[in-house]
Amino acid sequence: KPPPHWSLLMVLSCQSVAESIAGILARRPVLEPVLKTFQPLLEARASLPAALAPLVREAGLRLPELQPEQAAEGRPLLFEAPLPGLGGLLRQAAESLLPLLMEQEAVAPYADRLRGFFLGGTAADSAPALTALAECVLRGDEMGWEKSAVGMGVPPEVLTFVFDFLLGPALRALADVSLEAGQEAPWDKEGVWKEGYCPVCGSFPSIGYLDRPVFEEKNAFLAGGGGKKRLHCSLCGTDWKFRRGACPACGEEGNGVMEVLRESGNAQGERLEWCTRCKTYCPGVDLRERDTVPDLDVLALGLVHLDMVAAEKKLRPLNPSFWNTF
Ligand SMILES: [Zn+2]
Ligand SMILES: [Zn+2]
């Protein structure tokens, strides 16, 4: 029997990666070479959190409790949190995804070095180094990150591309196991988290969305009108509430701060929201204008035509996506 907020959960995971890609290609066939190249990798990443969840449970891993004072200061849950067991999850993620990642043109020249670092020795041998790398990301330690990349002999941007694919699903598995199905997430309790970056891992969103009306399945009545804004984390896939009319990059809010840019014709709710103060933009989608809910990570990649319009307007992406980087 579905829990009471079933329809809200459905909003977050409706179409598969393959269905979402097919939907984008039906409207923008020009993206076929790129999307088809990444499809196996995107599908493998999407299925990884469920595969890692038993490991998370076995190891007794949980997200730390949310402390309201720390949240009010804008501290993400995993900032400086001890991360025992994360190294084991990352090793498992590397065993699944590294072969696919190494097929990518930009990654292939470093295949041996990456294999040695992520899969060399036993799982216990590699865990401390993998955990240390995760700590660099979660603490925003760019110097530590560069040092690790140099030590490995891999360009920092290639290591970022590879490691995000491993760390993202590991954090998603950790968050999924820690959250009670159908319950409001602790960071969504009224006014607790006000930032434009992720309450779990501190990364910026890849995309924002306005949610759909919520129906109570059992009694078929409207439980919420929809149109509330949420942001979707580019790394761990956490969604959190955010104020409409506020900029996730600089925090300014009020009339005229945020502007919306969209294609003429049937844009299916796809848009780009940009800040007139700091000139940063984030892709978005109004789910009330669509019949289906796509995989948000895939849709963020499918809005590259809006990225081009933004570049012409000299706007900066809030979260540069990996295929703009290569
Ligand atoms: Zn996150
Ligand atoms: Zn701004």
Q: Each residue of 113-165: pLDDT tens digit? A: 999 999 999 999 999 999 999 999 999 999 999 999 999 999 999 999 999 99
The C-alpha atoms of residue 314 and residue 279 are separated, in whole angstroms, by: 8
CB < 8 Å & 24+ apart, contacts of 209-212: 209/284, 209/285, 209/286, 209/287, 209/296, 210/244, 210/269, 210/284, 210/285, 210/286, 210/287, 210/288, 211/8, 211/11, 211/287, 212/11, 212/287, 212/288, 212/293
Task: Kindly give the distance from the C-alpha atom of residue 247 to the centroid of ligand 2, in angstroms, as a whole number.
Answer: 5
pLDDT for res 213: 78
- Judged by its nearest atom, the ligand closest to the C-alpha of residue 167 is 1
Q: Each residue of 90-111: pLDDT tens digit? A: 999 999 999 999 999 999 999 9
The C-alpha atoms of residue 166 and residue 114 are separated, in whole angstroms, by: 12
CATH T-level assignment (fold) for domain 197-325: FdhE-like fold (3.90.1670)
Task: Kindly give the distance from the C-alpha atom of residue 197 to the centroid of ligand 2, in angstroms, as a whole number.
Answer: 13
Q: Where are the alpha helices (DSSP H) in the chain?
A: 6-12, 17-27, 32-58, 68-72, 86-101, 111-119, 123-138, 142-152, 156-178, 296-302, 304-312, 322-325
* pLDDT reading at 8 higher than 50: no
Q: What are phi and psi of 195, to 5 degrees?
A: -85, 160
Amino acid 42 reads L
- Chain mean position to CA 80: 20
Task: Kindly give the distance from the C-alpha atom of residue 170 to the centroid of ligand 1, in angstroms, as a whole number.
Answer: 11
Task: Kindly give the distance from the C-alpha atom of residue 144 to the centroid of ligand 1, in angstroms, as a whole number.
Answer: 20
Task: Kindly give the distance from the C-alpha atom of residue 200 to the centroid of ligand 2, in angstroms, as a whole number.
Answer: 22
The C-alpha atoms of residue 274 and residue 223 are separated, in whole angstroms, by: 31
Q: Each residue of 193-245: pLDDT tens digit? A: 999 999 999 999 999 999 887 765 665 555 667 889 999 999 999 999 999 99
* pLDDT reading at 182 higher than 90: no
- Judged by its nearest atom, the ligand closest to the C-alpha of residue 277 is 2
- Give the mean model confidence (pLDDT) for residues 18-26: 96
Q: Which of 45, 192, 23 is nearest to 104 (CA)?
A: 45
Task: Kindly give the distance from the C-alpha atom of residue 185 to the centroid of ligand 1, in angstroms, as a whole number.
Answer: 13
* pLDDT reading at 191 higher than 90: no
The domains of the chain are located at: 32-178, 197-325
Name the more confident of 267 and 117: 117
Average the pLDDT over each of 9-23, 103-117, 210-224, 312-326 and give the range with the smallest value. Answer: 210-224
Task: Kindly give the distance from the C-alpha atom of residue 225 to the centroid of ligand 1, in angstroms, as a whole number.
Answer: 27
* pLDDT reading at 325 higher than 80: no
Task: Kindly give the distance from the C-alpha atom of residue 246 to the centroid of ligand 2, in angstroms, as a whole number.
Answer: 8
pLDDT for res 163: 97
Task: Kindly give the distance from the C-alpha atom of residue 251 to the centroid of ligand 2, in angstroms, as a whole number.
Answer: 6
Task: Kindly give the distance from the C-alpha atom of residue 219 to the centroid of ligand 1, in angstroms, as a whole number.
Answer: 34
Task: Kindly give the distance from the C-alpha atom of residue 249 to the centroid of ligand 2, in angstroms, as a whole number.
Answer: 5
Q: What is the mean pLDDT of the chain?
A: 90
> What does 116-183 look like in DSSP terms, one character per residue?
HHHHSS-HHHHHHHHHHHHHHHHTT-HHHHHHHHHHHTS-HHHHHHHHHHHHHHHHHHHHHHHSPTTS
Both tokens assigned to 26: 């039906």
The C-alpha atoms of residue 125 and residue 102 are separated, in whole angstroms, by: 22
Task: Kindly give the distance from the C-alpha atom of residue 235 to the centroid of ligand 1, in angstroms, as a whole number.
Answer: 5
Q: Which of 273, 271, 201 is nearest to 238 (CA)?
A: 201
- Judged by its nearest atom, the ligand closest to the C-alpha of residue 169 is 1
Q: Each residue of 275-298: pLDDT tens digit? A: 999 999 999 999 999 888 899 999
Both tokens assigned to 150: 């140099």
Protein residues with C-beta less than 5 angstroms from the ion ligand 2: 247, 249-250, 275, 277-278
pLDDT for res 220: 58
Q: Each residue of 50-96: pLDDT tens digit? A: 999 999 999 899 999 999 999 999 999 999 898 889 999 999 999 99
- Give the mean model confidence (pLDDT) for residues 308-325: 83
Would you call 112 helix, strand, or coil by DSSP?
A: helix
177, 62 contact by CB (below 8 A): yes
The C-alpha atoms of residue 277 and residue 258 are separated, in whole angstroms, by: 8
| Beta carbons within 10 angstroms of residue 76's beta carbon | 25
- Pseudo-torsion of CA 29, 33, 37, 40, nearest 10°? 20
pLDDT for res 223: 62
